[in-house]
């Protein structure tokens, strides 16, 4: 029985050590989440207004010069930008993003994929490792963006995709990322990055009529890449906040599970200890009775 007691004691210590780690990781993620949440909250209104302006310009500039990044053409080759995290232990965050990317491949680009015409541009180590190991065509230049995250690093990835589209190397660029809602909630999104989409005109969102100074061509040539850089940066900031929120939630649940397991183990330990004491008392009583007899 002492062997069983020792085994339960070891398991209790092991669970307690794991719980200390999960609690520490939750606290670290909570601190990082606050900074990441502030960054995306400040960035989102600016990025959304720029995107609205860009879509309106594209809608009112059909067939004009300088609109190469908005040119629709037959889709033969596709690039998919997938924003994942560098580290795991964040619940289903990375697996959900990878699942969405594969679903996009099956449901929208099966013909292109069968011809080997789909290329992944992963941002984040987890996505890079998955697509590399599973035989997908991967661009391996920008997966480490989260190591010292900056606008300049994201801009380099955006420029690469824009150049590939403008040069006809790809006909469409899709962007997959997680939009941050709150610490416990993220929305996994697949949206078209290139060509730039036209604005959807509704009663509440009428197409704007802009006055351009200098000429529209000069402004579009300057503005369009900058706005697209901002859009990708927003997606990366969204992903960064989503990752920390998902990890904080996952570590909180892991700590709760450790508590439940500890309760169960302590009950098992007490039962085993009581059984051992009862056995020892029985042996003592039996020995005393034998001596008296």
Our measurement of the distance from residue 31's CA atom to the centroid of its chain's CA atoms, rounded to an integer in Å, reads: 18
Q: How confident is the model at residue 65, as a pLDDT?
A: 45
Q: Model confidence over 141-175: pLDDT tens digits?
A: 999 999 999 999 999 999 999 999 999 999 999 99
Average pLDDT per run of 10 along the chain, which is 293 residues long? Answer: 79 94 94 94 90 76 64 94 96 96 96 96 97 95 94 96 95 97 92 84 55 71 88 96 96 94 91 83 79 71
Give the per-residue pLDDT at 207: 56
Q: What is the DSSP string of 56-85?
A: HHHHT-TT-TT-GGG-------EEEEEE--
The pLDDT score that the predictor gives to residue 203 is 45
CATH fold label, 21-251: Pyruvate Kinase; Chain: A, domain 1 (3.40.1380)
- Per the CB < 8 A criterion, the answer to whether 241 and 85 are in contact is no
Q: How far apart are CA 56 and CA 195, in angstroms?
A: 14
Q: Is the peptide bond before 249 cis (omega within 30 degrees of 0)?
A: no
The catalytic position among 90, 145, 158, 162 is 90
**90 catalytically annotated:** yes
Instruction: Yes or no: say if 196 and 55 are a contact pair by the CB < 8 Å rule.
Output: yes
What does the domain layout of the chain look like in residue ranges? 21-251
pLDDT digits (tens, 9 = 90+) for 87-128: 999 999 999 999 999 999 999 999 999 999 999 999 999 999
Q: Under DSSP, is residue 119 helix (H, G, I), strand (E, B) or coil?
A: strand
Burial code (b: 16+ CB inside 10 Å, e: under 16) for 138-147 equals: bbeebbebbe
């Amino acid at each position: 029985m002492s062997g069983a007691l020792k085994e339960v004691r070891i398991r209790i210590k092991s669970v307690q050590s794991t719980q200390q780690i999960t609690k520490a990781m939750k606290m670290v993620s909570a601190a990082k989440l606050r900074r990441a949440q502030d960054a995306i909250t400040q960035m989102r209104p600016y990025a959304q207004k720029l995107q609205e302006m860009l879509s309106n310009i594209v809608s009112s500039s059909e067939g004009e010069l300088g609109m190469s990044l908005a040119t629709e053409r037959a889709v033969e080759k596709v690039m998919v930008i997938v924003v994942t995290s560098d580290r795991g232990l964040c619940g289903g965050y990375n697996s959900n993003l990878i699942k969405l990317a594969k679903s996009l491949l099956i449901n929208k680009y099966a013909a292109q994929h069968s011809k080997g015409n789909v290329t992944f541009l992963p941002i984040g180590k987890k996505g890079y490792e998955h697509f590399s190991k599973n035989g997908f065509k991967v661009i391996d230049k920008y997966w480490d963006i989260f190591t010292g995250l900056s606008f300049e690093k994201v801009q380099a990835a955006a420029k690469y995709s824009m150049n590939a589209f403008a040069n006809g190397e790809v006909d469409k660029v899709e962007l997959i990322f997680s939009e941050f809602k709150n610490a416990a909630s993220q929305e996994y999104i697949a949206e078209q990055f290139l060509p730039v989409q036209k604005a959807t005109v509704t009663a509440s969102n009428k197409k704007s009529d802009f006055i351009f100074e200098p000429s529209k061509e000069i402004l579009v040539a300057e503005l369009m890449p900058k706005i697209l850089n901002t859009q990708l940066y927003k997606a990366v900031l969204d992903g960064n906040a989503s990752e920390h929120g998902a990890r904080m939630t996952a570590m909180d649940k892991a700590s709760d599970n450790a508590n439940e397991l500890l309760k169960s183990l302590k009950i098992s330990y007490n039962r085993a200890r009581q059984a051992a004491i009862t056995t020892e008392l029985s042996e003592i009583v039996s020995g005393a009775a034998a001596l008296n007899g």
